[in-house]
Structure 1
Amino acid sequence: MAASSAALVSHLFAPKPLFPSPGRKLLLRSSGRRRASTIGMELEPGKPSSQFEAVDSHVHVWASREEALERYPYFSGHEPSLPGDSEILLKQKRDAPSLLCMGEANVDGALIVQPINHMFDHDLVTRTLKKHPSKFIGCCLANPAEDGSGILQFENLVLKEGYRGVRFNPNIWPSGQKITNEIGKAFFSRAGELGVPVGLMCAKVLNYDPAGISFHLSEIEELCSKFPSTSVILDHMGFCKPPINDEERKAFSGLLGLSKFPQVYLKFSALFRLSRKSFPYDDTGELLSQAISSYGSNRIMWGSDFPFVVPECGYKEAKEAVSLIASQIALSSLDLEWIMGRTAAHLFQHSWYAS
């Protein structure tokens, strides 16, 4: 990056975070497993809260065909293959007052992850956030432009538009460069200063290689070590499937090993991408069980991966699958609550859940 660009990036760094980082000191050890606590008040083990609400940590929305033609064009080469506009997620049924998808499934809020279909044009997602502020918060897409312009856009989206997360997609980094390059480190550092978690899509290219996280482990470790105040979320369990060979076992072991960094969280999301079976994806139970043993339920969050999940099993069923898997591995009701909403509400400090 040129000296002027580096100076621009340096100028962006502010001394105080916009959103305080979640209290890592709240992670407690009990009976060999980590228990969760709310901000400033520990929950009684095994006692669910009547205030619990379900939160989806991973949805995408994009323009309808009509909207794309009129106002929100798709990025060239990334036209969607299925509908994904927010009205599908929130549209009312003709014969019932409940909302399709989220309402029908009793999901109270969601994190919208900027889709690659609109690349760095966040206007459609921003409009959705403003239209439904009690339902949605946003995770923008990091633009790794070497001139630092992407960091300027990121800061604007956080400070002016209220975005609460940023996604790193290694596949859109400049060819031959890693997310630990100069701009990646500047992005990562700035996110920590603003108290904004970084979500990582660890798939190799876009083929969802079950060993994909192996290609980024060293980069993630370097960033976490250098910037311990930056929270990290590994999307879709790092794309690890139930391992069936040494390469996949090594990848999953690497995923679990990242739990040594207290700022790292997992998304138990897009189960259809993780499982080798059809709904209810019960072969992912062992993945979840081991993840909880390493991370604790208060560092794991469920996500549907709407709208991709709709043709796979349906939105409501995506949520039900987690309850079925939880029953299979004898997960406590409190652990399930953290995975199904408390973790996301705590991490993003949103009013979906009020302690």
Structure 2
Amino acid sequence: MALRLRTLVGPSHLRKPRSKLRIRSCAVNVRMAFTAISKVIDSHLHVWASPQEAGNFPYSPGQEPTLPGNADFLLQCMEEAGVDGALIVQPINHKFDHSYVTSVLKKYPSKFVGCCLANPADDGNGLKQFEDLVLKDGYRAVRFNPYLWPSGEKMTNKVGKAIFQRAGELNVPVGFMCMKGLDMHISEIEQLCTEFPSTVVVLDHLSFCKPPLNDEEGLVFSQLLNLSRFPQVHVKFSALFRVSRVQFPYLDLSPLLSQVVSHFGANRVMWGSDFPFVVAECGYKGAKDAVHLIANEISLPSSDLEWIMGKTAKQLFQNQLTPVKN
């Protein structure tokens, strides 16, 4: 079934919130869709120690959390929402100390897999730390946060290339967080993809592309779509509250999802909640429901929805690592 693509044009593209009757009607379709999806995997969330656990798992200085995000709270939310598993992304609250996330991964090995945080320090120790987290602790992805690179350095520097290349050798996807805009980092991402085509890439949160309101924003979204020419690039349809310009269920993202699926294919797109930040926005279950309501807007085939809601993440993160020589 072909997707109905909708043109992204200025403010008139944004829709007013739907009536309660319409959303209630859509919710029926959501419940029906849930029954057809065998395994739901959240591709992007965070956990950090509770205040009671902070003695054993201290926060990074100046990064004390302002809302609850411990593993017990997450498991409660997942059970209520019917989410089966998740990729835990190392939070900035613990920075490069992965001990809390590692403890959660070891306690619930059938529930979670981990995405570590790349340490781009000038001394180069980040490469050894990355290898240990993958080979000893079982992490299956690594996040590149460009704002942690030393001042004046890019992700394409010696350390960045070394970790990116090693990630490909270890069959570990690299996630990019482009919080300040994809246009700031597109050249680095393209260079790394070109030089190391065997390294799988994941773009967090639609690369923070909002529904375009002008030509400049439309160009940035086009840059995201053009990255589909690299077969190793995947996109997280995640943290919808961060990229939408309207309230739940974030229906202004419908044409963006349509075009992303059209360019990348559903098997290169995956849903993520951005727990615990999403809880105060629409609730954890709401993060899951929103994707189904958006998919309903564009008549997304159920087979595509299955990829987005779990199969893509399972394919990337839950397969056993390919054995490699140290």
TM range (shorter): 0.7 to 0.9
Q: CA deviation at 1:203?
A: 1.1
**Structure 1 match to 2:95:** 119
The runs of 4+ residues in structure 1 deviating greater than 2 Å are 30-33, 48-52
Which of the residues 27, 31, 41 maps onto 1:55?
41
Aligned pairs for 1:87-126 (under 5 A) are 87-90=72-75, 100-126=76-102
- Tell me, yes or no, if structure 1 residue 162 matches structure 2 residue 145: no
CA distance in 2: counterparts of 1:105 and 1:88, whole angstroms: 12
**Structure 1 match to 2:120:** 144
**Structure 2 match to 1:45:** none
Question: What are structure 2's unaligned runs of at least 5 residues?
Answer: 5-33, 321-326
2:146 touches 2:177 (CA, 8 Å); kept in 1?
Answer: yes
2:44 touches 2:274 (CA, 8 Å); kept in 1?
Answer: yes
CA distance in 2: counterparts of 1:338 and 1:217, whole angstroms: 26
- CA shift digits 1:250-283 (9 cap, x unpaired): 1100000000000000000000001000100000
**Structure 2 match to 1:77:** 62
Distance 1:31 1:330, change over 3 A: closer
- Tell me, yes or no, if structure 1 residue 67 matches structure 2 residue 36: no
CA distance in 1: counterparts of 2:211 and 2:66, whole angstroms: 28
CA distance in 1: counterparts of 2:100 and 2:279, whole angstroms: 21
Paired residue type of 1:193: E
Paired residue type of 2:309: M
CA distance in 1: counterparts of 2:134 and 2:114, whole angstroms: 9
Between Structure 1 and Structure 2, the one with more helix by share is 2
**Structure 2 match to 1:243:** 212
Q: CA deviation at 1:350?
A: 3.9
Percentage of matched positions with identical amino acids: 66
Which of the residues 171, 174, 192 maps onto 2:150?
174
RMSD: 1.7
Distance 1:154 1:335, change over 3 A: same
Which of the residues 225, 230, 235 maps onto 1:261?
230
Q: CA deviation at 1:175?
A: 0.3
1:230 touches 1:263 (CA, 8 Å); kept in 2?
Answer: yes
SS of 2:78 mapped into structure 1: coil
SS of 1:103 mapped into structure 2: helix
Aligned pairs for 1:201-212 (under 5 A) are 201-204=177-180, 212=181
Bigger mean CA deviation after superposition, 165-174 or 144-153: 144-153
Bigger mean CA deviation after superposition, 242-251 or 253-262: 242-251
Distance 1:222 1:350, change over 3 A: same
1:52 touches 1:342 (CA, 8 Å); kept in 2?
Answer: no
1:112 touches 1:136 (CA, 8 Å); kept in 2?
Answer: yes
With the length of structure 2 as denominator, give the TM-score of the two structures.
0.87
2:113 touches 2:318 (CA, 8 Å); kept in 1?
Answer: no
2:3 touches 2:298 (CA, 8 Å); kept in 1?
Answer: no
**Structure 1 match to 2:129:** 153
- Tell me, yes or no, if structure 1 residue 183 matches structure 2 residue 150: no
CA distance in 1: counterparts of 2:270 and 2:95, whole angstroms: 25
- Tell me, yes or no, if structure 1 residue 340 matches structure 2 residue 297: no
Q: CA deviation at 1:67?
A: 1.2
- CA shift digits 1:310-343 (9 cap, x unpaired): 0000000110000000001100000000000000
2:238 touches 2:273 (CA, 8 Å); kept in 1?
Answer: yes
CA distance in 2: counterparts of 1:31 and 1:61, whole angstroms: 38
Which of the residues 286, 292, 315 maps onto 1:323?
292
Question: What are structure 1's unaligned runs of at least 5 residues?
Answer: 1-29, 34-47, 91-99, 205-211
**Number of aligned positions between the proteins:** 291
2:37 touches 2:306 (CA, 8 Å); kept in 1?
Answer: no
Q: CA deviation at 1:52?
A: 2.5
1:272 touches 1:309 (CA, 8 Å); kept in 2?
Answer: yes
Paired residue type of 1:221: E
Bigger mean CA deviation after superposition, 155-164 or 70-79: 70-79
CA distance in 1: counterparts of 2:47 and 2:177, whole angstroms: 17
Paired residue type of 2:312: T
CA distance in 2: counterparts of 1:72 and 1:101, whole angstroms: 22
Paired residue type of 1:78: Q
